[in-house]
Chains A and B, each alone.
Chain A
Amino acid sequence: MEFCYFLTLDSFITDPLTHDFMRKALLMSSLVAAVCGFLSSYLTLKGWALMGDAVSHSVMPGVVVAYALGLPFSLGAFIFGVGSVALIGFIKQKSRVKEDTVIGLVFTGFFALGIVLVSKIKSNIDLHSILFGSPLGISLSDVKQTIFISLLVVILLSIFRKDLMLYCFDPRHAKTVGINVFFLHYLLLTCLSLAAVVGLQSVGIILVVAMLITPGATAYLLTDKFDNMTVISVLSAIISSLIGIYVSFWFDLETGGSIVLAQTFIFLFAFLFAPRYGIFKLKKLFAGYK
């Protein structure tokens, strides 16, 4: 990489766009980030970070089996994602083991099964791209799947936006006024599994949980309004993806890791400087100069 490229910001941004794979990666990753960011508001408010971690790891064997059978890998991932949650619920109910322990042991079990299956099946599955994502090498059929799933999740979340907010805030009231809480619970889980499936293409199974919780956590520090939180969450997720991909292109870094690091930096920035909830409370600092 020549350093003269950095002389203008313009070429820093436009040069990568001359590559077809980069255009595709930027578009797809932004879409995936938007979907995960949208969902992220709900997961952070519901306190489902660990659940997000569990589901995203549990999809591993589903991906491997689907590849081996020539099925759409999203289908396999979805079945195992929802299955892991059902199993967690079942074990929790039927034993005295605490919930966080059950979540931990179920998802690591599923994840291990996935790794063992990869080593046994020995097909052309690229373990590296599953674990760490491969936004630059996304295939056409994957593009179609990603667009389809992303639209589905966005439509579902948009329709049930307010009900899901109520479900996260006060499920007891939801139930009392005749809203189907059982349905909302599984709707959120379904969206979680689907988002994990599309997210893993960008950043891989190991880091996809970051896509599902970091943007929401960042937004939570910046606003007291739910709608604003959703918007900020989506925007910060998209910006992180763009930054991550550009940085990984110019400095030849792992793309998934770069995207997540960008998210982490944005969170840290909010953590330090958020007007009301940041450590340095910028509002107060500025108030001093009035």
Chain B
Amino acid sequence: METINYQNFRIQAENICVDYNGKVALYDANLRLKPGQICGLVGMNGAGKTTFFNALTGFVNISKGKIRINGESVRSAQKDQTIAYVPQNEGIDSQFPISVWDVVMMGRYGSMNIFRSPRESDVQAVKDAIERVDLTDHLSTPIGNLSGGQRKRTFLARAIAQRASILLLDEPFSGVDIRTEKLISELFIQFKNEGKTILLSTHDMIHVREFCDLVLLINKTVVAYGETSEVFTPENITTTFGGISPDFLLGPES
């Protein structure tokens, strides 16, 4: 067996378990991702996708196992702004009185002083990020007045402004317009070329085939993990979704 140099992995999760007050949400889950890899996280609702994200960001504690981010602990990954999390649209309060600019600026908070007063470099980072997601016309728009796609781009800009090397995206394509979908997929290719590592959860099987080098199928634990072309088979998908035929999920194979 080849020796593994853990420094080579951006994300390394070994046999992690998460339980909420004794209720197991995820067990014996493994994941190893390198720079420049895009991995799809696929599973039913309640299969532990969000829990997996929460474990990687340190939002929940793991009860067993080990997580290394760039070979370091989750705690130091937080301090280094290594991981950015892009929430589902449903996961945020869209009526919160806050503008696009302020949301994206939150991406810089972790590296600011205690008063979170922006430096010139922070302002520039926010400007650039907003430009990359094509929201320059909406700098001071309250997020409540944005479309679903624009809101998704706002949070993507926050992740860009953070300059994180790992992006975790919860359902990045759900409820977005065609233009946003195209913009996000272009950004993914740019991120990949920049050497960022991306883990995204999705319900859309077509997106997995389109973007993801790797796929992680989970149902409380890992059902299958590997290259998309090898692992993303009808049999594995059926197992992941508790016996539902992949024809139903994917449409007939072309």
Residue ranges of A at the interface with B (Cβ–Cβ < 8 Å): 45, 93, 159, 162-163, 165-166, 168-170, 172-179, 220, 223-226, 228-229
B93 touches A176 (CB 8 A): no
B97 touches A225 (CB 8 A): yes
B93 touches A175 (CB 8 A): no
A178 touches B110 (CB 8 A): yes
B134-173 toward A: CB 8 Å interface, digit per residue (1/0)?
A: 0000000010110000000000001000100000000000
B105 to chain A, nearest CB (A): 9
Complex contacts, A177 vs chain B, CB 8 Å: 78, 81, 107, 109-111, 162
Complex contacts, B102 vs chain A, CB 8 Å: 226
Assembled-state Cα–Cα distance A177/B108 (Å): 9
A182 to chain B, nearest CB (A): 12
Give the residue name and chain of the B residue nearest to A45 (CB). B96
Assembled-state Cα–Cα distance A225/B21 (Å): 38
Which B residues, 30 to 89, have Cβ-Cβ distances below 8 Å to chain A? Answer: 54, 57-59, 75, 78-81, 83-85, 87
A173 to chain B, nearest CB (A): 6
A29 to chain B, nearest CB (A): 27
A224 touches B97 (CB 8 A): yes
A172 touches B142 (CB 8 A): no
A93 touches B21 (CB 8 A): yes
B115 touches A162 (CB 8 A): yes
A170 touches B116 (CB 8 A): no
Known A169-B98, A175-B57; judge A224-B144 contact (CB<8 A): yes
Complex contacts, B145 vs chain A, CB 8 Å: 224
6 of the cross-chain contacts (CB-CB < 8 Å) are: A45-B93, A168-B96, A169-B92, A176-B85, A177-B107, A224-B145
Known A163-B109, A170-B87, A226-B102; judge A176-B58 contact (CB<8 A): yes
Instruction: Say what secondary structure dominates the interface of chain B.
Output: mixed
Complex contacts, B75 vs chain A, CB 8 Å: 178
B85 touches A166 (CB 8 A): no
From B59, B92, B96, contact of A176 by CB (8 A): B59
Tell me, yes or no, whether B99 is within 8 Å of chain A by CB: yes
Known A166-B106, A169-B92, A176-B57; judge A225-B87 contact (CB<8 A): no
**What number of residue pairs across chains A and B have CB atoms under 8 A from each other?**
77
B98 touches A172 (CB 8 A): no
Give the residue name and chain of the B residue nearest to A162 (CB). B116
A6 to chain B, nearest CB (A): 39
Given A159-B115, A170-B87: 8 more A-B contacts, CB < 8 Å: A162-B109, A162-B116, A168-B96, A170-B92, A175-B59, A176-B84, A177-B78, A177-B109
Assembled-state Cα–Cα distance A224/B78 (Å): 30
Tell me, yes or no, whether B178 is within 8 Å of chain A by CB: no
Assembled-state Cα–Cα distance A179/B57 (Å): 12
A229 touches B97 (CB 8 A): yes
Q: Name which of B83, B93, B97, B106 has the most chain A CB atoms within 10 A of its CB.
A: B97
Assembled-state Cα–Cα distance A159/B91 (Å): 27
Complex contacts, B98 vs chain A, CB 8 Å: 165, 169, 225-226
Complex contacts, A178 vs chain B, CB 8 Å: 75, 78-81, 110
Give the residue name and chain of the A residue nearest to B99 (CB). A225
Complex contacts, B4 vs chain A, CB 8 Å: none
Complex contacts, A165 vs chain B, CB 8 Å: 98
Tell me, yes or no, whether B1 is within 8 Å of chain A by CB: no
A165 to chain B, nearest CB (A): 8
B152 to chain A, nearest CB (A): 14
A173 touches B85 (CB 8 A): yes
Complex contacts, A228 vs chain B, CB 8 Å: 97
Complex contacts, A220 vs chain B, CB 8 Å: 97
Give the residue name and chain of the A residue nearest to B98 (CB). A226
A169 touches B93 (CB 8 A): yes
B109 touches A175 (CB 8 A): no
Q: Name which of A177, A178, A179 has the most chain B CB atoms within 10 A of its CB.
A: A177
B116 touches A163 (CB 8 A): yes
From A162, A168, A172, A179, contact of B85 by CB (8 A): A172
Assembled-state Cα–Cα distance A180/B99 (Å): 24
